[in-house]
């Protein structure tokens, strides 16, 4: 990519004829313009005025905005007395009719009628009345202007670095040339609205009539108690605020610093702040304005130049392929009140109805070119193939606004993408092409896992189980190079990632996660993303899930010691009860089988009772019946004993868990 230097002015002439400035005055030249991203700009005019008034020409629809944001500062004390402007008054029905147009002379062709000018586009006079003396004024106001738009270039290197450039495109449709102004671009949109202060408003008032009404009831009076005022009253009042310091002229050395930094907004927030002080015009000021200024000493708190110099030296150290030759051509970046401001160095000239492209920053940042699997409905093949993307980190102190970005690598243009708003230290992933040498397919599996103690209330046990969703991505690399792939996994609402692979970026704000994976050349790889969503359910104390949940809680070092002690004692009783219940279930099953065998044996004996030839079989069945009956007697006796033991242990267990109360167990550890 070509090395780009400083400022690039584009002669972009807009269609249509010039219609004059929206706000203009011949008495104060335009010195400063701050353009925002919400359709407004801050304009600052300053100079010396030797008159009793300053006259502005303002378009009718902009008078309200002009008055709502007008800031006037006179160095040495304010002497602006008032501001007057005309009002648009609707004509009544009885107003005199306008005079009819005079007839056009015969023999002459009549020119086409001029299109009528809407009242909102007519120019009105706004007068600022002074005291008739010489004044050094600075006047700032807000007016509508096209938003500035960013454009980016990134050059990706193989060593995990990238060169990032940011450009700003500014359009001048104000109706006047911006000649030698100080230009600032603000990444952010301060709250701004259209004001109607220039429109007269007469609210409707209630009408009061006198109908001679008779009072229907006698009003109740108020009684005040007597008191001795000579004793005084103790009053506790807040201390009065100290008066503001008077506005005075700066000392000569301070005035020099103030004049040098008059356009440095790193000391005040917002483009609409009070304009900076200006030095009085004179021979000394003229020489200082024409001659190059010496670089101030580093660390001077009154100047922003030291910071700019440090910034430029850092740029020079980190400069890469796309770095400009002159580092002083870069904009100074400042973060004020949460917004990012780019101060363009030097004076800028932007003719009316033209655009200017200025270099905002050029910096070496962490970056790489990888592949991103992120299916997009607008690109059908992206459901099977990943995008080629540029990933880089915003290592600048300011916000990078949304804008187009061009990607380069090894001196070649790779493609274009769209960079979304990128805060400082955030990482952008910008797709710019589709890669068909990599193929991806996916499948999902659902299951339930685990059991954790959730809470214990009123002797009831509640546990948590995980609804597990496993997404398996299968990747095939058909290229000759090892490929790094980043899978954009759409997150399930309310779920959490369980033991995600190293390097995973869980972007909860966008509802997705970026999961990295490397695939060898001509090889296959598999990636599993495990998401879990906890669900609470009531559980029986004697169930296996309850046993798993309580034992997990008792092994957790974050457990409550008192609750753990009570549960430990209760669980010893539960183990005895559980063994008795298991033994009871085993004997009950055996009892059922023996009773079934006993019935079958009795039926068999009845069938051969009168058969003399089946004497041996009858004897065998008789012995079997006796054995079954004997075993049934033993089992019945044991079941009675177990029933008594179970009843006892159940009472003991209920008593042990009666005082156990746990409102919330520790959250799961992934």
CA 274 to chain centre: 30
Assigned token pair, 149: 């738009």
What DSSP line would sit under 378-415, residue for residue?
A: TBGGGGTSPEEEEEEE--SSSPBPSEEEEEEETTEEEE
Q: How confident is the model at residue 23 (pLDDT cuts 50, 70, 90)?
A: confident
What DSSP line would sit under 195-230, residue for residue?
A: --TTS-------------PPPSSPPPP-------GG
Count Cβ atoms within 10 A of the Cβ of residue 7 and give its class: 0-12 exposed, 13-18 middle, 19 or more buried: middle
Most confident of 10-19, 108-117, 280-289: 108-117
DSSP for residue 609: T
Q: Range with the lowest mean pLDDT among 17-31, 185-199, 410-424?
A: 185-199
pLDDT at 648: 95
pLDDT (average), residues 98-107: 64
Instruction: Tell me the pLDDT tens digit for each residue of 343-366.
Output: 888 888 999 889 988 988 888 999
Q: Where are the beta strands (DSSP E) in 458-544?
A: 460-477, 483-490, 496-497, 505-507, 512-519, 524-539
CB 145, CB 41: distance < 8 Å: yes
CB 466, CB 450: distance < 8 Å: yes
pLDDT (average), residues 609-629: 89
Q: Where are the alpha helices (DSSP H) in 517-658?
A: 544-554, 561-607, 615-657
The 10 Å Cβ neighbour count of residue 426 is 13
Q: How confident is the model at residue 404 (pLDDT cuts 50, 70, 90)?
A: very high
Pairing of strands 178-187, 30-35: parallel
Q: What gap in Å lies between CA 230 and CA 343, rounded to an integer?
A: 66
pLDDT (average), residues 482-488: 93
Is residue 291's pLDDT more than 60? no
Packing angle, helices 561-607 and 544-554, rounded to 10? 160
pLDDT at 55: 82
Instruction: Tell me the pLDDT tens digit for each residue of 556-571.
Output: 999 999 999 999 999 9
Domains contained in the chain, CATH given = 438-540 (no CATH), 561-657 (1.10.287)
pLDDT (average), residues 434-450: 93
pLDDT (average), residues 122-144: 78
26 versus 548: the higher-pLDDT residue is: 548
Q: How confident is the model at residue 273 (pLDDT cuts 50, 70, 90)?
A: very low
273 versus 578: the higher-pLDDT residue is: 578
Share of the chain above pLDDT 70, in %: 67
Q: How confident is the model at residue 588 (pLDDT cuts 50, 70, 90)?
A: very high
Is residue 669's pLDDT more than 90? no
What does pLDDT average to over the chain?
Answer: 76
SS (H, E, C) 28-96: CCEEEEEECCCCEEEEEEEEEEECCEEEEEEEHHHHHHHHHHCEEEECCCCCCCEEECCCCCCCCCCCC
Is residue 314's pLDDT more than 80? no
Is residue 419's pLDDT more than 70? yes
Q: Range with the lowest mean pLDDT among 2-6, 364-368, 421-425, 468-472?
A: 2-6
Which residues, other chains included, contact 234 with Cβ-Cβ below 8 Å and sequence gap of 6+? none
Assigned token pair, 344: 């363009």
CB 267, CB 335: distance < 8 Å: no
Q: How confident is the model at residue 125 (pLDDT cuts 50, 70, 90)?
A: confident
Q: How confident is the model at residue 591 (pLDDT cuts 50, 70, 90)?
A: very high
pLDDT at 54: 82
Q: Range with the lowest mean pLDDT among 43-57, 453-467, 491-505?
A: 43-57
Is residue 182's pLDDT more than 50? yes
CB 432, CB 390: distance < 8 Å: yes
Say whether 637 sits in a helix, a strand or coil: helix
Is residue 453's pLDDT more than 90? yes
Is residue 250's pLDDT more than 90? no
CB 40, CB 142: distance < 8 Å: yes
The 10 Å Cβ neighbour count of residue 193 is 10
pLDDT at 398: 84
Is residue 266's pLDDT more than 50? no
């Amino acid at each position: 990519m070509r090395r780009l230097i400083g400022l690039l002015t584009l002669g972009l002439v807009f269609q249509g004829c010039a219609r004059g400035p929206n706000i203009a005055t011949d008495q104060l030249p335009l010195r400063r313009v701050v353009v925002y991203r919400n359709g407004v700009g801050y304009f600052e005019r300053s100079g010396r005025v030797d008159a009793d008034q300053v006259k502005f020409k303002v378009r009718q629809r902009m008078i309200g905005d002009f008055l709502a944001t007008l800031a006037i500062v006179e160095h040495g004390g304010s002497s602006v007395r008032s501001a007057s402007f005309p009002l648009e008054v609707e004509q009544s029905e009885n107003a005199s009719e306008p005079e009819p147009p005079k007839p056009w002379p015969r023999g002459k062709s009549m020119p086409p009628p001029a299109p009528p000018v809407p009242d909102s586009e007519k120019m009105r006079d706004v007068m600022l009345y002074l005291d008739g003396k010489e004044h050094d004024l600075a006047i700032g106001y807000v007016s509508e202007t096209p938003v500035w738009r960013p454009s980016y270039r990134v050059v990706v290197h193989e060593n995990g670095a990238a060169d990032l450039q940011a450009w700003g495109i500014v359009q001048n449709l104000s109706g006047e040339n911006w000649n030698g102004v100080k230009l600032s671009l603000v990444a952010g949109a301060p709250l701004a609205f259209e004001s109607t202060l220039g429109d007269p408003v007469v609210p409707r008032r209630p009408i009061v009539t006198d109908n001679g009404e008779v009072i229907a009831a006698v009003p109740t009076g108020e009684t005040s108690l007597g008191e001795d005022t000579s004793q005084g009253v103790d009053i506790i009042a807040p201390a009065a605020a100290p008066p503001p310091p008077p506005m005075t002229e700066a000392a000569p050395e301070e005035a020099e610093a103030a004049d040098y930094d008059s356009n440095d907004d790193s000391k005040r927030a917002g483009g609409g702040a009070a304009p900076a002080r200006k030095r009085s015009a004179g021979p000394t000021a003229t020489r200082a304005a024409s001659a190059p200024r010496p670089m101030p000493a580093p660390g001077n708190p009154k100047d922003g130049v030291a910071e700019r110099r440090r910034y430029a030296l850092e740029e020079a150290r980190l400069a890469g392929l796309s770095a400009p030759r002159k580092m002083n051509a870069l904009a100074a970046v400042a973060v004020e009140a949460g917004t990012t401001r780019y101060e363009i160095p030097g004076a800028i000239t932007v003719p009316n109805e033209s655009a200017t492209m200025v270099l905002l920053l050029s910096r070496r940042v962490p970056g790489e070119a990888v592949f991103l699997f992120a299916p997009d409905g607008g690109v059908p093949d992206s459901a099977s193939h990943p995008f080629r993307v540029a990933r880089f980190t915003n290592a600048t102190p300011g916000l990078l606004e949304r804008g187009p970005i061009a990607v380069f690598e090894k001196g070649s243009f790779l493609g274009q993408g769209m960079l979304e708003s990128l805060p400082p230290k955030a990482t952008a992933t910008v797709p710019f092409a589709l890669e068909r040498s990599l193929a991806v397919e996916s499948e999902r599996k659902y299951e339930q896992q685990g059991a954790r103690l959730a809470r214990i209330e009123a002797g009831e046990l509640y546990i948590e189980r995980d609804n597990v969703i496993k997404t398996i991505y299968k990747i095939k690399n058909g290229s000759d190079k090892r490929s790094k792939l980043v899978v954009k996994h759409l997150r399930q609402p309310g779920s959490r990632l369980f033991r995600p692979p190293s390097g995973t970026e869980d972007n909860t704000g966008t509802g997705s996660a970026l999961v990295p994976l490397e695939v060898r050349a001509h090889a296959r790889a598999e990636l599993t993303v495990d998401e879990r969503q906890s669900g609470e359910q009531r559980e029986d104390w004697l169930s296996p899930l309850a046993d798993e949940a309580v034992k997990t809680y008792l092994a957790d070092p974050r457990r409550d010691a008192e609750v753990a002690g009570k549960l430990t004692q209760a669980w010893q009783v539960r183990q005895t009860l559980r063994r008795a219940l298991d033994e009871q279930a085993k004997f009950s099953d055996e009892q059922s089988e023996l009773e079934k065998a006993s019935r079958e044996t009795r039926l068999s004996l009845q069938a051969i009772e009168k058969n003399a030839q089946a004497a041996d079989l009858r004897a065998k069945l008789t012995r079997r019946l006796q054995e079954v009956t004997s075993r049934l007697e033993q089992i019945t006796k044991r079941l009675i004993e177990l029933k008594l033991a179970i009843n006892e242990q159940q009472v003991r267990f209920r008593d042990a868990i009666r005082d156990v109360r746990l409102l919330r167990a520790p959250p799961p550890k992934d």
